[in-house]
Amino acid sequence: MTEIKNQRELSLMREGGRLLAKIMSRAKKEVLPGKTTKELNELVEKMIFEVGGRPSFKGYQGFPAALCVSLNEEIVHGVPSEKIIKEGDIVSLDIGLFYKGFHTDLAITVPVGLVESEKRRIVKATWQALEKGIKKVQPGKAFGDLGNAIQQVAQKQGLAIVAGLCGHGIGRKLHENPWVLNTGTKGTGLKFKKGMVFCIEPMFSAGTSETETMANSFTIKTKDGSLSAHFEHTVAVTDEGCEVLTRE
């Protein structure tokens, strides 16, 4: 069953989402050659506690950090370490904030310095897919319309949609109903209803859609080692359409 948030709950999630957006904006500026992913995690965790929140991810199913940071062929759930970010990498940052009883979730993929055109292409396409998906969240539409919009971007760009990973409902729990697929048929599936809050998160691969989990038991990468990108926003359904809660 999909939870419907009331105005008070939405107000708290809106507040948390804006704080999360500010944290992400600061973290993005620190994605620089020579930085370790561990250093990024330490910064993010410090900022989360400074705003009076808690990291949504730390301790969730045993995950050891506040930040998921995934490089190049790594798709999601990258564990921070002594790994050094290099010029030409693409780096996905995924942060969850638990604030005043509610979670919000936000992810971006950042090109580092001079990045080859194929890397820039997959980053841009994945971001465009998120924006097109957001535009489908409006009265009279359904989750199939959202998934189809994302799918169309991948197909036009010749990119694969990562299998087995998708968006999700969010609120008092980090993961709630419904699952928000990155594929779909127009006009099908659950209809959007005012008060629904969920995360839209396209994940594209330049090669295979298949994945594998790395030795740390958390990080998921493309099975063929091809590039990947990931973007995410937490959104709420309104009478008019959609409010993105994780924008500054």
Find the CATH number of the domain harbouring 152: 3.90.230.10
Q: Is residue 109 within 8 Å of 95, Cβ to Cβ? A: no
Judge if pTM exceeds 0.75.
Answer: yes
Q: Is residue 150 within 8 Å of 133, Cβ to Cβ? A: yes
Q: What is the pLDDT of residue 83?
A: 96
- Establish if 2 belongs to a structural domain: no
Q: Which residues of 81-115 are buried (b: 16+ CB within 10 A; e: fewer)?
A: eebebeeebbbbbbbbbbbeebbbbbbbbbbbeeb
- Establish if 23 belongs to a structural domain: yes
The pair of structure tokens assigned to 183 is 């594929």
Ordered strands of the 197-200 beta sheet: 176-180, 167-169, 197-200, 233-237, 242-244
Q: How many CB atoms lie within 10 A of CB 56?
A: 26
Residues of the chain with pLDDT under 50: none
Q: Which range marks the domain in which residue 162 is found?
A: 7-244
The pair of structure tokens assigned to 31 is 């994605």
Q: What is the pLDDT of residue 140?
A: 87
Q: What is the pLDDT of residue 213?
A: 98
Please tell me whether residue 171 adopts helix, strand or coil conformation: coil
Q: What is the pLDDT of residue 133?
A: 98
- Establish if 1 belongs to a structural domain: no
| Overall domain count for the chain | 1
Which helix (DSSP H) or strand (DSSP E) does residue 141 occupy? Answer: none
Q: What is the pLDDT of residue 1?
A: 77
Dist CA 72 CA 5 (whole Å):
36
Report the C-alpha dihedral over residues 78, 83, 86, 89, rounded to 10 degrees. -20
